[in-house]
């Protein structure tokens, strides 16, 4: 991954942190990532609501956008020779979402382990703030070539830690 001219990573640039701040342990409060999307007709079932499996696709879309903000994109992670795979997924439904409604997906890091991480996605309807669904995903970091689990790299751990909610 190409380093920015000022020596900071993409995530540090976006969050205004320097390597020295990271080394010294100076941290900002955990902040969630919010991605907004509009429900498309093809994502709805014959009942006129978002089909249940689409919520996992929504969570995946939000992860892709979180990676873009933290690391410059999913490809940047792959360029470092690592990837993430889903090891566990859980969806809890609260209210239906329908065609053309806007949804906010608020992503927080719920846990960072040695080789795995857990994300929590709260999906809400924009027009009235109604909780639509919650998605909990556990990812395992793997070597891109080997497919074997690998420790979360330090270049990724720092930005993810700043998203960690206790």
pLDDT digits (tens, 9 = 90+) for 63-81: 999 999 999 999 999 999 9
For residue 146, give its domain range: 32-161
2 located within any domain: no
The Cα 57–Cα 121 span in angstroms is: 12
**82 has pLDDT over 80:** yes
pLDDT digits (tens, 9 = 90+) for 106-163: 999 999 999 999 999 999 999 999 999 999 999 999 999 999 999 999 999 999 999 9
Q: Mean pLDDT over residues 94-106, rounded?
A: 98
pLDDT digits (tens, 9 = 90+) for 13-52: 444 544 444 444 545 567 789 999 999 999 999 999 999 9
27 located within any domain: no
116-125, strands of its sheet edge to edge = 33-38, 102-112, 116-125, 131-143, 82-93
155 located within any domain: yes
113 located within any domain: yes
What is the total count of domains within the chain? 1
Q: How far is CA 120 from the centre of its chain?
A: 8
Q: What is the pLDDT of residue 109?
A: 96
In contact, 153 and 82? CB cutoff 8 Å: yes
**104 has pLDDT over 80:** yes
114 located within any domain: yes
The Cα 117–Cα 54 span in angstroms is: 22
* CATH code of the domain containing 91: 3.10.129.10
DSSP letter string, the chain: -PPPTTS--HHHHHHT--HHHHHTT--PPP--EEEEEE--GGGB-TTSBB-TTHHHHHHHHHHHHHHHHHHSSHHHHHHTTEEEEEEEEEEEE-S--BTT-EEEEEEEEEEE-SSEEEEEEEEEETTT--EEEEEEEEEEEEETTT--B-PPPHHHHHHHHTTB--
22 located within any domain: no
pTM: 0.81
| Residue 69 C-beta-side C-alpha neighbours within 13 Å | 18
Q: What is the pLDDT of residue 125?
A: 98
Residue 148, Cβ density class (10 Å: 0-12 exposed, 13-18 middle, ≥19 buried): exposed
58 located within any domain: yes
Q: What is the pLDDT of residue 20?
A: 41
């Amino acid at each position: 991954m190409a380093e920015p001219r000022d020596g900071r990573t993409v995530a540090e640039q976006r969050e205004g942190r320097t390597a020295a701040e990271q080394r010294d342990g100076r941290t900002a409060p955990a902040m969630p990532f919010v991605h907004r999307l509009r429900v498309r007709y093809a994502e709805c079932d014959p009942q006129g609501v978002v089909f249940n499996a689409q919520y996992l696709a929504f969570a995946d879309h939000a992860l892709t956008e979180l990676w873009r903000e933290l690391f410059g994109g999913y490809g940047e992670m792959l360029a470092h020779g690592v990837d993430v795979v889903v090891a566990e997924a859980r969806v809890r439904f609260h209210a239906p979402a329908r065609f053309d409604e806007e949804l906010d997906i608020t992503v927080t890091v719920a846990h960072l382990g040695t080789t795995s991480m857990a994300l929590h996605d709260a999906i809400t309807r924009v027009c009235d703030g109604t909780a639509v669904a919650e998605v909990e995903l556990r990812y395992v970091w793997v070597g891109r070539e080997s497919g074997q689990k690998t420790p979360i790299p330090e270049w990724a751990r720092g930005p993810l830690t700043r998203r960690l909610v206790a």
